[in-house]
Amino acid sequence: MADVNRGNRPLSPHLQVYRPQLTSISSILTRITGNALLLAALMIVWWFLAAATSPEYFATADAVVRSWFGDLVMLGSVWAIWYHLLAGVRHMIWDEAKMLEIDSAEMLGWGVIIGSVLLTLFTIIVV
């Protein structure tokens, strides 16, 4: 039974009234990058299995991996690896009960984002 005194307010912070913070967005991105890395790993495993199966099957898998889609997945994987690594370091800092203040936490969030982009660019240039 609904509370009549509640009025027309949402029951909890709702997407229409909630303003996401950098820390919540970066937390969601950590989960997304973890799942994206799993999909990229499955694509690489498929490529290896195709290589062990037959030349025709390998040609098909190789065409997908070397296509623009495969390049995009691999580039995204490089960024996801760096992002996931830096986000893990950020969580280790938080596990030590350090940099938990809002300003420090946001600085770490920007550090993870900017650091992952710079390390991805470095990886592309060097490799």
Instruction: Write the pLDDT tens digit of every residue in 39-88.
Output: 999 999 999 999 999 999 999 999 999 999 999 999 999 999 999 999 99
Whether residue 1 is contained in a domain is answered as no
Whether residue 66 is contained in a domain is answered as yes
Detail the residues annotated as belonging to a binding site: 84
104 pLDDT above the threshold of 80: yes
Residue 78's domain comprises 21-126
Would you state the pLDDT for residue 5? 67
**Amino acid at site 89:** V
Whether residue 83 is contained in a domain is answered as yes
CATH of the domain at 57: 1.20.1300.10
User: How many beta carbons lie within 10 A of that of residue 90, not counting itself?
Assistant: 21
Would you state the pLDDT for residue 124? 95
pTM over 0.75: yes
Q: What is the mean pLDDT of the chain?
A: 90
**What whole-number distance in Å separates Cα of residue 113 and Cα of residue 80?**
10
Whether residue 46 is contained in a domain is answered as yes
Whether residue 76 is contained in a domain is answered as yes
Detail the residues annotated as belonging to a binding site for heme: 84
**What whole-number distance in Å separates Cα of residue 64 and Cα of residue 22?**
35
Whether residue 16 is contained in a domain is answered as no
6 pLDDT above the threshold of 60: yes
Whether residue 9 is contained in a domain is answered as no
**What residue has token string 């099957």?**
57
**What whole-number distance in Å separates Cα of residue 83 and Cα of residue 87?**
6
Total tally of structural domains belonging to the chain: 1
